[in-house]
Every structure is written in C-alpha cells, then in structure tokens.
C-alpha cells in the first residue's frame, strides 16, 4: 500500500457522514416528537411531560439537553421564584420540520397498512 494514502479512522468517517450526523442530532426516540410540540408553541418541562406521558423525567431531561447541544432547542430560564424554564424550537430546529411532516405522513400510511 502507498504510504501517502491515509485511511480515516471509523470515528473520523462518522464525523463526516451526513446521515450519522443527522441521526446523532435527531435520531432519538422522543426527539422528533419534542420538536413537533415545540414548533406549535413555547412550552415548559411539565407541559412536555403531560403531552408525552410515557417519557420518563430523566429521558425528557436528557433529550432536551441533547437538543440544546445541537442548537435545535432554546432553553430560557427566568429569574423568579419559583424558578421557571421554557423551551422553544430554534431557527435551526425549524429546519427539521419538513422532515417531521414527512415522517408523520409515512407513519399514517404505515399504520393504515
């Protein structure tokens, strides 16, 4: 093998793979559902939990943190007593909405099948 040819390590290949990057950001079980609800309006944590009664407190917290890290969700903490935190979809998060709609349409067809 030519010494000038370098083979990328698997982690480096994954970093450059668009599908891997997309799934890392939005591939979680609850991610698209949370973005769907936040696209409707800004919501508090408890509101999201009421809309998705099957999600645990821990998983909702972790998913929201991941969405924040990927700049898909904005977290706003208000300096008041009791503390109040609101979540909203970011401009970057709104770019996922056509995908969410496509998945909803496919899901409807899949269920009816």
pLDDT tens for each residue of the chain, 113 residues long: 444 455 455 555 556 788 888 999 999 999 999 999 999 999 999 999 999 999 999 999 999 999 999 999 999 999 999 889 999 999 999 999 999 999 999 999 999 99
Q: Taking the complete model, does pTM exceed 0.75, yes or no?
A: yes
* Backbone CA torsion sign across 46, 48, 52, 57: negative
Domains identified in the chain and CATH numbers = 10-112 (1.10.10.10)
């Amino acid at each position: 093998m030519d010494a000038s040819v370098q083979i990328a390590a698997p982690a480096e290949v994954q970093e450059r793979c668009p599908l891997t990057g997309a799934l890392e950001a939005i591939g979680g079980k609850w991610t698209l559902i949370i973005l769907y609800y936040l696209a409707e309006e800004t919501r508090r944590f408890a509101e999201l939990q009421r809309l998705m009664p099957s999600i645990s407190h821990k998983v909702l917290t972790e998913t929201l943190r991941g969405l924040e890290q990927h700049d898909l969700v904005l977290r706003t903490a208000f300096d008041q007593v009791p503390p109040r935190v609101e979540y909203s979809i970011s401009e970057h998060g709104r770019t996922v909405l056509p995908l969410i709609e496509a998945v909803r349409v496919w899901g409807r067809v899949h269920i009816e099948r």
